[in-house]
Amino acid sequence: MNNYKISGLYGITPDLADTDVLLDKTHQILEGGARLVQLRNKSADKTLRLLQAETLLQLCRKYDVPLLINDNVELALQIDADGVHLGAKDMDITLARRKLGLDKIIGASCYNRIELAVQAAANSADYVAFGAFFPTSTKHDTVDASIDIVRHAKSVLDVPVVCIGGINAHNALSLIANGADAVAVCQAIYQTGNERESAATISRLFG
């Protein structure tokens, strides 16, 4: 399996058409201590998405931080990214594993359903993600997840637990204290005007 540890601050990119701005902001969050980055751009066309994926991968490699591609196994294969993050309506995890091999990271969205997490782990997911825990404007089709599911997941699963949804420097500690291995953050690190310090503030919560 892959040698990356799923822990700490997990940066999720916003929809940015300007690749230079995206790279600059991601560079800052890496300097601030982000330990994973996911390219998630729902508004980009195929050409822009490929450009951003290739350039982000080069940047992340300089920091030895894995770059995951949201929902797109073929793009991950095309650029040799470090893995993918899949939702319930995306490619089946078992099929994705066959395509990607054992050395790539596969993360799975499990929303507020522990049974999805159990199944994902059984199908070789490297981490499971729950959320949204707090109000978020990044996604509009979220479900509400409670902190209880983090404790439950940690008691029955052997894979890392990632929390997502409206997480910022003020509320992340409650999730970490209840067992979250990583917190996935978009707006609270990418849209603050001081991305490096925003990332560092959340990174420090992991001690």
- Return binding residues for Mg(2+): 71, 90
Is 139 among the catalytic positions?
yes
Give the residues across from 163 on adjacent strands.
130, 183
- Of the residues 7, 99, 113, 139, which is catalytic? 139
Label the pairing between strands 67-70 and 36-39. parallel
Written as one string, the DSSP assignment of 103-158 is TSEEEEEEET-HHHHHHHHHTT-SEEEE---S--SS-SS-----HHHHHHHHHH-S
Binding residues are: 38-42, 70-71, 90, 109, 136-139, 166
The DSSP output letter for 85 is E
Question: How many Å apart are CA 152 and CA 147, to the nearest integer?
Answer: 9
Q: Choose, from 25, 35, 40, 196, the residue flagged as catalytic.
A: 40
- The one catalytic residue among 109, 196, 198, 203: 109
Would residue 154 show up in a list of annotated catalytic residues for this protein? no
Q: Which residues are the active-site residues?
A: 40, 109, 139
